[in-house]
Amino acid sequence: MTPAAELDYRQYLRTDMMPHILCPGCGHGIVLKAILRAVHRLGLPRDRLVFVSGIGCSSRIVGYVDFCTLHTTHGRPLTFATGLKLARPELHVVVVTGDGDGLAIGGNHLIHAARRNIGLTCLLLNNATYGMTGGQGAPTTPEGARTATAPDGEVEPAFDACRLVAGAGGTFVARGMTAAPVGLDDLIARALVHPGFAFVEILSDCPEYFGRYNALGHGPEMLEAQRRNVLSVDALLAEKRFVPGLATARGGVQPAVALGVLHEARRPEFSAALAAARAAAPPAERPAAPPATPVVAPAGVPAAPAPAEAPQCRVRLAGAGGQGIVLAGLLLAEAAVAAGRNATHAQAYGPESRGGASRAEVIVSDGEIDYPCVDRADLLLALSQEAYDRYAGEVRPGALVLVDADRVVPRPAEGVACHALPLGATATRVLGEALGANLVALGALVALSDVVTREALERAVAARRPGDSAERALLAVRAGFELVAAGRR
Amino acid sequence: MLLQGNEACARAAVDAGCRFYAGYPITPSSEIAERMAELLPPRGGVAVQMEDEIASLGAVLGASLAGRKAMTATSGPGFSLMQEHVGYAASTEIPCVVVDVMRAGPSTGLPTSPAQGDVMQARWGTHGDHPIVALAPASVAEVYELTVRAFNLAERYRTPVVLLWDEVIGHVRERVMLPDPASLALVERARPSEAPGAWRPYAANGQAVPAMADFGSGHRWHVTGLAHDERGYPTQDPAVVARLQARLHAKLARDRADVVLWEGVALDDAEVVVVAFGVSARAARRAVGLARRRGARVGLFRPRTLWPFPDREIADLAGRARALVVAEMNMGQIVGEVERAAAGRTPVTGRFRADGQPLAPEDVLDALAGAGVRGLA
Ligand code: SF4
C-alpha cells in the first residue's frame, strides 16, 4: 500500500460543506486529492496554508479544504494572493485557478505575478472550456473543438500557459494531468516548496460539456485519451495543441503535450527582494513628533458663526511649464508660514510633464483662508506673454503686475501698477543662465509688494536650497531685490 | 508646516496604522503612492505598485485579510476599475480604505482638473445593494483627520471606506499642525475571542459586526463573495441570505453619529442654506461670509460624510430654511439626495459646474441671489 492510499482525506476536508458541486467524472476532484496528498507528504502546517481561488468550477474546490480559504472574484485570485503573501511572507499561499480565470480575464495578473516572482504556488486547472457557465470557448480551447459559443468549431489558436509563464519570468513551470495523478502529487509538492513563483498547469477534463460537445465520452474515456496523448515527459517545452482524443479523431494534428517540470530557475523571491532592498537602504530619519494639537474639531460640528474676513493677499504666478513657477509659489508660501502667517499654495498645470502653461496661486493672510483658489489676484507675475494675456484681466483694482520685460509686452490698464523688469536677463547676468528668472522675479515681487519680508523669503530659499545651492539661489533673489531698488533710485 | 492634501493623506494613513499600500499611478492621486512608498518600508510596511487598479484593490483586500490595515488611492478611471472589489469587500466585510482624488470626467476627461463627479460612483459604482461609507474632507487638515477616521470606521464596521476629494484639495498646500501620532485614538477590528473550533466567522453574536481572524493566525475560515451563512459557507437559503443582507445594511445605522459627520456655518437663523462639500464648500464658506457681512441671513451645511448621506440633518434644515441651494462640481449629484431628504418642505435649487474649474464664490453668490437672497451685489 502506498502512503497515498492510506491517507484519510477527510482530515483535510470541510465535510460539512459537502456534497460538493462537481459533476460525476469531473477531473477537478482528482486534482484536489493530489493537492491534499502533496500537502500531507510535505507536512505543511495547516494553519499557515492559505488557498485562494477565482471563479469557475475549479475555483470552487478551495471551499472544501480546511485551511484558510479565499474564494475571490473572477480572474483576480493572484492579486489577493499577492497582497496576502506580501503582508505575511511566512504563509504558504496556493492559488487554484482555471483556464478562463487564469488566462482570459486574469491573464494579465498571471504575467505580472510571474514577473515579480512572488512566492506563490499557482495551480491552473485546464479543461479547455468554461464549465460553470455551460461549455463556452476558452483561451485554451484547441482549434477545431466545438463549444457552446463555437458550434462550428473553434477558430482561435489555444494559449500555451506554460510557455507564457516561463516567458514572463516564472521560476518553476510544470505540467501534469489528471490521468497521471501520482505524478501530479510530485509536481505539486515540488511547486509548494519552490521559493518563488511556481506554476503548474494541470490538464483536467470536463465531461459534462467539453466531452459531450466533442463526443469524447465520459470521465474514464477522457482520462484514457489523456494518456494516449502524452508527447513526452520532462521534455523541452512543446507547442500545446492538445485536446484529449480530439485531434486524432479528426485526423488532424498529431496530439502533443509535454509533461513534467518544463522550466526551473532561481532568482530572488519578491517579498524577499523587497526586504533586501530595505535592508540595503540608509536608515530613515524619523521626524521629531510634533506637538499634540488636534487638527480640527471632530464629528458633527454645531452651527458656527460666519467667519470674519481677515485681509488676504492673493498672488498668482504664471508662465510656461519648466520656468519654475510652482517652485516660486512654494517658496513664497513657505516664507509666509515660516514667518508665522497663514498661507495656501495651489497649482494648476496641463497634462504634459514639460511645457504647456503653468500657474501657482498663493494666498497669504493672518487669519483663516476660506477659499484656497485665487479668483482675482492682488499680485500677478507673468513670465510669458501667453500667461499675461490670459490673466492680466483677472486682477483686483489696485493690483500690482510684474512681467519679464524681455518676454512680455504689457498693455496699459486703469488702476493697475505694472512693472516690466528684465528678469530673465538679470538671471543670465548673475547666474549665467536664464533658468533662475523665477527667483529673480520672486525677489522683485517681494521687494515691490512686501507680501512677505525679504528676510523671510531669504530664509525660505536657504532652507529649500532650490537647484541644490542656496548661495546661487540667494544671489538670484537678491538680484531681484536690487532690480527694484535700482528702479526706485 | 505647509503640507499638501495628498501628502497629508499618506501621513495620516501611516499614523492610523496602515501598513500596506497597493496602487497604480494616476493623476491627480500619484503623490499618495509616492509618499506611501517612502513612509511604509521604514515602518515595516509594504508599498507595491500593481499592474492595474483591479489588482491594487485585490492586493489590499488580501493584505487586510492577513491582518494589516491597508489602503489604495486612485482617480475616477481607476475607481471605475476597482468597483467589483469594492463590492467584494462590502460582501465579505474586509476592512479597506480607498481614496479617489476626483478629476473631471467622464472617461479620461480632464486629468489634471478638479471635479466632484464620483459621488454617485462611490455609492452605487459596484453592483447590488451594499453598505458603504464615503467621507469628503475640505482642507488639508481635514484630509488628515478623515483619513485617520476612515481607517477607524473601516476597522470598526468591517467595511470599505471611500475618501473622496477633488484635485484642488489633493494638491493644495495649507498650514497644518499635525497631531502627535501617539495621541490618536485608533480602532482595531475585533478579533475572535473563541477558540478556533468554536468560532463562527460571520456570527455577529448580537453585535452588528462579527469578529474577524487574521489569515494564518490559527482560525481557519472560508471567505467568499457568494452569499454566505454564519460559517462563511455559500448558501442559497432565502432566510439566511435575507438575514445577511439585513445585518450588512443595519451595521452602519447602529451608531449613526460615529459615521455621519457634518459641519454647519451660521445655521441658527439662516433663511437660505447652501449645501456643499469639498472645495465647493470652501467657495460657499467665502460666499456665506460675504453675504452675512451684507446682512443676508444665509448659512452653510457641509457634509463631511457623503455616504450614508446626512439626510436627517437636511430634513431638519428643510423644516426651518426658506430655501436650500446645493453647489457642487458636477452636473447635479448630491442635489438629488438633498431633494429626497427635503421631501418638498422647502425648494431645493442646484448650482453645478463641470468645466474643470473650481466652483467660485461668485457662483455661490449668484445662486443665492437666484434663491431670492437680496442685497448681495
Ligand atoms: S461542468 Fe465540467 S468542469 Fe464543471 S464540474 Fe461539471 S464536469 Fe467539472
d(CA B206, nearest CA chain A) in Å: 25
pLDDT above 90 for A351 = no
| Residue range B178-210, pLDDT digits in tens | 999 999 999 999 999 999 999 999 998 888 899
pLDDT above 60 for A255 = no
What mean pLDDT value characterizes chain A? 88
**Is B59 found in the same domain as B164?**
yes
**Is B274 found in the same domain as B172?**
no
d(CA A158, nearest CA chain B) in Å: 24
pLDDT at A424: 95
Check A349 against B112: CB less than 8 A apart: yes
**Is A315 found in the same domain as A261?**
no
Length of chain B measured in residues: 377
From A20, A21, A26, A124, mutation site for ligand 1 pocket: most ligand atoms within 8 A of C-beta: A26
Q: How far is the CA of B171 from the centre of ligand 1 (A)?
A: 52
Is B252 an interface residue toward A (CB < 8 Å)? no
CB contact at 8 A, A128 and A243: yes
Residue B2 one-letter amino acid = L
From A23, A31, A53, mutation site for ligand 1 pocket: most ligand atoms within 8 A of C-beta: A23
With pLDDT > 70 as the criterion, what percentage of chain A qualifies? 86
pLDDT at A254: 37
Nearest atom in ligand 1 to A127's CA: 3
Domain boundary among A250, A271, A292: A271
Residue A121 lies in a domain: yes
Range in A213-227, A246-260, A274-288, B359-373 with the lowest mean pLDDT: A246-260
Distance CA A24, CA A220 (A): 11
Pocket of ligand 1 (CB under 6 A): A 22-23, 26, 28, 57, 127, 131-132, 206-209
Residue B240 lies in a domain: no
**Is B286 found in the same domain as B174?**
no
Nearest atom in ligand 1 to A60's CA: 5
Is B303 an interface residue toward A (CB < 8 Å)? no
Residue B377 lies in a domain: no
**Is B271 found in the same domain as B152?**
no
Pick the residue with more confidence: B96 or A259? B96
Residue A365 lies in a domain: yes
A314 by DSSP, 3-state: which? strand
Q: What is the CA radius of gyration of chain B?
A: 21
**Is A322 found in the same domain as A249?**
no
Residue A369 lies in a domain: yes
Domain boundary among A249, A271, A293: A271
pLDDT at A234: 45
| Residue range B169-184, pLDDT digits in tens | 999 999 999 999 999 9
Cβ-based contacts of A73 with chain B (< 8 Å): 58, 84-85, 88, 225
Band of pLDDT at residue A310, cut at 50, 70 and 90: confident
CB contact at 8 A, A188 and A253: no
B18-23 and B2-4 strand pairing: unpaired
Residue A292 lies in a domain: no
Q: Is the bond preceding A151 in cis, omega lying within 30 degrees of 0?
A: no
Q: What is the CA radius of gyration of chain A?
A: 35
**Is A338 found in the same domain as A255?**
no
Long-range contacts of B310-313 (CB under 8 A, 24+ apart): B310/B260, B310/B262, B311/B337, B311/B340, B311/B341, B312/B341, B313/A300, B313/B260, B313/B262
Residue B254 lies in a domain: no
Domain boundary among B128, B161, B183: B183
Closest CA to B194 of B207, B213, B216: B213
Is A282 an interface residue toward B (CB < 8 Å)? no
**The CATH number of the domain where B274 resides is what?**
3.40.50.920
Domain boundary among B157, B183, B209: B183
Band of pLDDT at residue A236, cut at 50, 70 and 90: very low
Nearest atom in ligand 1 to A134's CA: 1
Average pLDDT over residues A246-268: 66
**Is B141 found in the same domain as B283?**
no
**The CATH number of the domain where B107 resides is what?**
3.40.50.970
| Residue range A474-487, pLDDT digits in tens | 999 999 999 999 98
Band of pLDDT at residue A5, cut at 50, 70 and 90: low
pLDDT above 60 for A377 = yes
Range in A60-74, A223-237, A461-475, B198-212 with the lowest mean pLDDT: A223-237
Distance CA B80, CA B57 (A): 12
pLDDT at A143: 85
**Is A157 found in the same domain as A50?**
yes
pLDDT at B310: 98
Residue B17 lies in a domain: yes
* Beta carbon pairs, A and B, within 8 Å: 263
pLDDT above 90 for A329 = yes
Kindly state the helix (H) or strand (E) to which residue A258 belongs, with its residue range.
strand A258-264
**Is A456 found in the same domain as A328?**
yes
pLDDT at A230: 64
Q: How many domains, chain A?
A: 2
pLDDT at A468: 72
Q: Compare CB distances from A84 to B65, B112, B283 and report the shortest one's residue.
A: B65
Residue A311 lies in a domain: yes
pLDDT above 90 for A4 = no
Is A413 an interface residue toward B (CB < 8 Å)? no
**The CATH number of the domain where A482 resides is what?**
3.40.920.10
Residues 6 or more apart from A318 whose CB is under 8 A from it?
A: A325, A357, A358, A359, A360, A380, A381, A382, A383, A384, A387, A388, A390, A391
- Using the structure block, give the residue that is written with the C-alpha cell 484519510: A8
**Is B141 found in the same domain as B26?**
yes
Which of A309, A371, A376, A464 would you mutate first to test chain B, the one with the most B CBs within 10 A?
Answer: A371
Residue B89 one-letter amino acid = A
Range in A1-15, A365-379, B86-100, B181-195 with the lowest mean pLDDT: A1-15
**Is B266 found in the same domain as B177?**
no
Check B222 against A112: CB less than 8 A apart: no
**The CATH number of the domain where A88 resides is what?**
3.40.50.970
pLDDT at A412: 84
Average pLDDT over residues B128-140: 97
Band of pLDDT at residue A302, cut at 50, 70 and 90: very low
Check B63 against A87: CB less than 8 A apart: yes
Which of B2, B38, B364 would you mutate first to test chain A, the one with the most A CBs within 10 A?
Answer: B2
Closest CA to B85 of B46, B123, B55: B55
Residue B250 lies in a domain: no
Check A83 against B282: CB less than 8 A apart: no
pLDDT at B369: 97
A258-264 and A232-233 strand pairing: parallel
Check A306 against B288: CB less than 8 A apart: yes
**Is A140 found in the same domain as A13?**
yes
Q: How many domains, chain B?
A: 2
Nearest atom in ligand 1 to A210's CA: 2
Confidence check on the interface: ipTM exceeds 0.95, yes or no: yes
pLDDT above 50 for B220 = yes
**Is A104 found in the same domain as A247?**
yes
Domain boundary among B183, B209, B241: B183
**Is A263 found in the same domain as A122?**
yes
pLDDT above 50 for A303 = no
Query: Residues of A171-202 as b/e, b for ≥16 C-beta within 10 angstroms?
Result: bbbbbbbbbbbebbbbbbbbbbebebbbbbbb
| Residue range A265-300, pLDDT digits in tens | 999 999 999 999 999 987 755 544 444 444 444 444
Residue B239 lies in a domain: no
pLDDT above 60 for B298 = yes
**Is B283 found in the same domain as B172?**
no
Nearest atom in ligand 1 to A27's CA: 8
Q: What range does the domain containing A435 cover?
A: 307-488
Is B343 an interface residue toward A (CB < 8 Å)? no
Neighbours of B62 (CB within 10 A): 33
pLDDT at B253: 87
**Is A183 found in the same domain as A239?**
yes
DSSP B107-164: TT-EEEEE--TTHHHHHHSSSS----EEE---SHHHHHHHHHHHHHHHHHHT-EEEEE
pLDDT above 70 for A233 = no
Residue B131 lies in a domain: yes
**Is A122 found in the same domain as A26?**
yes
Check A86 against B223: CB less than 8 A apart: no
**Is A347 found in the same domain as A236?**
no
Residue A438 lies in a domain: yes
With pLDDT > 90 as the criterion, what percentage of chain A qualifies? 73
CB contact at 8 A, A298 and B257: no
Task: Calculate the CA B368 to chain-centre distance.
Answer: 28
Which of A64, A84, A325 would you mutate first to test chain B, the one with the most B CBs within 10 A?
Answer: A84
From A20, A21, A28, A178, mutation site for ligand 1 pocket: most ligand atoms within 8 A of C-beta: A28
pLDDT above 90 for B341 = yes
Kindly state the helix (H) or strand (E) to which residue B96 belongs, with its residue range.
strand B96-104
Q: How far is the CA of A211 from the centre of ligand 1 (A)?
A: 10
- Alpha carbon of A261 to those of A102, A183, A191, A238: distances in Å? 19, 11, 9, 12
Average pLDDT over residues A15-32: 96
Domain boundary among A271, A297, A331: A271
**Is A405 found in the same domain as A260?**
no
Average pLDDT over residues B305-321: 97
Cβ-based contacts of A81 with chain B (< 8 Å): 62
pLDDT at A469: 84
Q: What range does the domain containing B36 cover?
A: 2-183
Cβ-based contacts of A72 with chain B (< 8 Å): 58, 61, 88, 225
**Is B306 found in the same domain as B175?**
no
Q: Kindly report the CA angle at A86 between A82 and A88, in degrees rounded to 5? A: 115
pLDDT above 80 for A305 = no
C-alpha grid cell, residue B151: 481607517
Distance CA B44, CA B14 (A): 11
Neighbours of B58 (CB within 10 A): 32
